[in-house]
Amino acid sequence: MRLLYSALSPFARKVRIVAHENGFTVAIVLETAAPFADESLRATNPLSQVPVLILDDGEILFDSSVICDHLDAEGGAGLIPAGGAARRRALTLQALADGMGSAAVAVVRERMRADDQRPELIERQLKAIVAGLDLLEAEGFTSDQWAIAEIAVAAQLAYFDARQVLDWRVGRPALSAWFEAASRRESMVVTSVQLA
Ligand SMILES: N[C@@H](CCC(=O)N[C@@H](CS)C(=O)NCC(=O)O)C(=O)O
C-alpha cells in the first residue's frame, strides 16, 4: 500500500496513528505529496487533498476517515466501534475533530497571506475551533481509552501546537492533561514530526 501524505497534515497523522495501532508499519509506503503545489495529486484524489491510500491492486481510498475505516477493518485493532451508540459517538467526535482541523488549516493558510488577510474568515474558523475545544473539555476523555475519537482529536491538537493556531490549553485543564499523556503513546511518538 502507498500513503500519499504530507508530514504536518493532521488528517494524515490520524491515518498514520491508526495504521501503527493496526500493525501496518511496514506494509504502508509513505510518499510525500504537496497538495497546494503539485497538481499531480489530483489524478488520485480530485480534491487534491492528502491523505490518499493506494491499495496494492490500485484501488484508491480517501478521505482520512474512509482510510481509517479500511485499515481498522483489515488490521482488526477495533478502534472504530462496530455499532450502536458507541459507534455514533466515536464517529461524531471524529467528524468534530476533522472539522476543527479543516478550520485550523484554513486559519494557517489565511495567516500565510502576505497581505489582504481576511480577519472575519480567521475569526469564524477560530470560533468553530474554540467551540469544539469546549465540547471536548466537557467530554472528559480518559487515558484508558484510545480509539478513533481520541486519535482524531490528538492529531488535531498536535497540529494546533505545531502551527501555533491558538493557545488551546488555557481554561481546559482536563483536555490538556489528557493530551500530555496521549502524546507519550508509541503511535503518537513515532508519527510526530520535529520542526526545525
Ligand atoms: N476531509 C479530508 C481533509 C483533508 C485535508 O484537508 N487535507 C489538507 C492537508 S492537511 C489538504 O490536502 N489540503 C489541500 C486542499 O484542500 O487543497 C480528510 O479527512 O482527509
Ordered per-residue pLDDT tens for the chain, 196 residues: 999 999 999 999 999 999 999 999 899 999 999 999 999 999 999 999 999 999 999 999 999 999 999 999 999 999 999 999 999 999 999 999 999 999 999 999 999 998 888 999 999 999 999 999 999 999 999 999 999 999 999 999 999 999 999 999 999 999 999 999 999 999 999 999 865 4
Distance 6 CA to ligand 1 centre (A): 10
Tell whether 102 and 148 lie within a shared domain: yes
Cis check: omega of the bond before 51, within 30 degrees of 0: yes
Cα 97–chain centre separation: 7
CA dist 193 and 170 (Å) reads 24
* pLDDT at residue 195 in the model: 58
Q: Which three cell numbers stand for residue 11?
A: 488528517
Examine the fold and report which residue of 48, 75, 102 is the final residue of a domain before the chain moves on.
75
Amino acid identity of residue 188, one-letter, is M
What SS3 state is found at 81? coil
Would 21 be classed as within a structural domain?
yes
Nearest CA to ligand 1 atom 11: 49
Tell whether 96 and 122 lie within a shared domain: yes
* pLDDT at residue 115 in the model: 87
Domain with 138 in it? 84-185
CA dist 18 and 79 (Å) reads 8
* pLDDT at residue 47 in the model: 97
Nearest CA to ligand 1 atom 13: 49
CA dist 2 and 164 (Å) reads 30
Examine the fold and report which residue of 46, 75, 104 is the final residue of a domain before the chain moves on.
75
Nearest CA to ligand 1 atom 16: 49
Cβ contact 148:91 at 8 Å = yes
Helices and strands: H and E segment counts in the chain = 7, 4
Cβ contact 15:3 at 8 Å = yes
What SS3 state is found at 138? helix
Tell whether 88 and 181 lie within a shared domain: yes
Specify the DSSP element, H or E, that contains 158: helix 148-162
Which amino acids bring their CB within 6 angstroms of ligand 1?
9, 11, 35-36, 48-51, 63-65, 98, 102, 105
* pLDDT at residue 114 in the model: 85
Query: Which ligand 1 atom sits closest to the C-alpha of 9?
Result: 10
* pLDDT at residue 194 in the model: 62
Tell whether 132 and 71 lie within a shared domain: no
Examine the fold and report which residue of 75, 93, 126 is the final residue of a domain before the chain moves on.
75
Tell whether 91 and 174 lie within a shared domain: yes
Diameter of the chain by CA atoms? Answer: 49
Tell whether 39 and 90 lie within a shared domain: no
Distance 57 CA to ligand 1 centre (A): 24
What SS3 state is found at 53? strand
CA dist 169 and 173 (Å) reads 7
Tell whether 99 and 168 lie within a shared domain: yes
CA dist 190 and 193 (Å) reads 8
* pLDDT at residue 35 in the model: 93
Query: Which ligand 1 atom sits closest to the C-alpha of 98?
Result: 19
